[in-house]
């Protein structure tokens, strides 16, 4: 919700902090009313039809109306609070991680002394930081979480959404050798070409080198894949596994190049040894003229060799 601007201690006015956009809130309220009314009518009719077999039709209709009203209230509240639930879903990994850290700290604080607790915390944070095999996967997963929020910022700032302000679904992200790969589900009003035309802006927002948007499905254009590249994997040093088969301390052995021609000496070849090849036919190495095919004639004496 937007907060009012207030003057700071230095005379400047602070900006607004918006959790739920105004148009999204109005759209959710309108959808809640419509969905609640539709659910009330449907549930009332179904409940009355079921209860009419046992009760009087008037009592069945009244009971069905009460049941439908309760169901409509639940559905309307679910639709109304969906924007807030969606924000919580966006931050669910961070919320889960923070809850786990607080729970672990509380559990350890009740069972360990202050010195042991501090040592456990330093060990938990220091070991992954000092070992590259553990630090790199953790950093890659952290970048996946950061990229999800940076893409969401791009969608809200400069990528066109539908008129209700609904953003595309960010499904999941995985680390790659050059960065991250994110899968999206586009809403109506947004196409793959919109992402490709703003790839440079997305790269700046994601603090990356380049961004490539491609279709992730041949049957559904709403399913899109974004590759975020932060580094060039081809510039790294590749260690050949063949070096493992070389014995330590083995002396270097030079190849014997005796008899191996080092260059082509044209004066050694005479003109008589070179015969031009016939057009369209390779030259024969033995310089023996090719045997002519026998002439085949018909009973009338006509030569049909070229037809065979």
- What does residue 271 show for φ and ψ, rounded to 5 degrees? -70, -30
The pLDDT, as a whole number, for residue 284 is 52
The pLDDT, as a whole number, for residue 176 is 92
Which residue, 182, 176, 178, is CA-closest to 154?
182
pLDDT in tens, 173-209: 999 989 999 999 988 888 899 899 999 999 999 999 9
CATH class for domain 137-233?
alpha beta
- Residue 59 to residues 40, 53, 56, 67: CA-CA distances in angstroms? 17, 11, 5, 12
Within 8 A by CB and 6+ apart from 212, the residues are 199, 226, 227, 229
The pLDDT, as a whole number, for residue 84 is 86
Cα separation, 220 vs 243, whole angstroms: 47
CA atoms within 13 A on the CB side of 172: 2
Altogether, the residues listed in the chain come to a count of: 308
- pLDDT, averaged across the chain: 79
Q: Are 209 and 230 in contact (CB under 8 A)?
A: yes
CA atoms within 13 A on the CB side of 12: 4
The pLDDT, as a whole number, for residue 9 is 42
pLDDT in tens, 17-57: 466 677 778 888 888 999 999 999 999 999 999 999 888 88
Cα separation, 151 vs 147, whole angstroms: 6
The pLDDT, as a whole number, for residue 175 is 93
The pLDDT, as a whole number, for residue 78 is 92
The pLDDT, as a whole number, for residue 77 is 93
């Amino acid at each position: 919700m937007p907060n009012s601007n207030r003057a700071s201690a230095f005379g400047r006015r602070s900006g607004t902090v918006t959790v739920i956009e105004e148009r999204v809130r109005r759209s959710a309220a309108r959808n809640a009313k419509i969905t609640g009314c539709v659910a009330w009518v449907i549930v009332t009719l179904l409940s009355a039809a079921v209860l009419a077999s046992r009760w009087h039709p008037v009592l069945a209709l009244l009971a069905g109306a009460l049941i439908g009203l309760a169901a409509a209230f639940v559905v309307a509240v679910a639709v109304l609070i969906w924007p807030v639930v969606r924000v919580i879903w966006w931050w669910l990994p961070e919320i889960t991680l923070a809850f786990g850290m607080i729970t672990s700290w509380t559990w350890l604080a009740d069972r360990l002394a202050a010195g042991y607790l501090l040592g456990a915390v330093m060990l938990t944070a220091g070991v992954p930081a000092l070992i590259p095999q553990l630090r790199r996967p953790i950093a890659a997963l952290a970048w996946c979480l950061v990229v999800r929020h940076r893409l969401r910022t791009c969608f809200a700032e400069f990528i066109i959404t539908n008129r209700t302000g609904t953003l595309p679904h960010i499904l999941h992200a995985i680390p790659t050798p050059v960065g991250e790969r994110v899968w999206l589900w586009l809403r109506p009003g947004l196409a793959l070409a919109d992402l490709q035309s703003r790839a440079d802006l997305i790269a700046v927002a994601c603090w990356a080198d380049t961004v490539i948007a491609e279709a992730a499905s041949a049957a559904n254009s709403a399913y899109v894949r974004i590759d975020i590249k932060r580094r060039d994997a081809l510039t790294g040093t590749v260690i050949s596994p063949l070096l493992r088969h070389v014995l330590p301390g083995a002396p270097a052995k030079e190849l014997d190049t005796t008899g191996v021609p080092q260059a082509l000496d044209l004066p050694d070849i005479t003109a008589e040894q070179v015969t031009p090849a016939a057009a369209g036919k390779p030259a024969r190495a033995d310089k023996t003229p090719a045997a002519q095919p026998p002439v085949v004639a018909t009973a009338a004496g006509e030569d049909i060799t070229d037809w065979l």
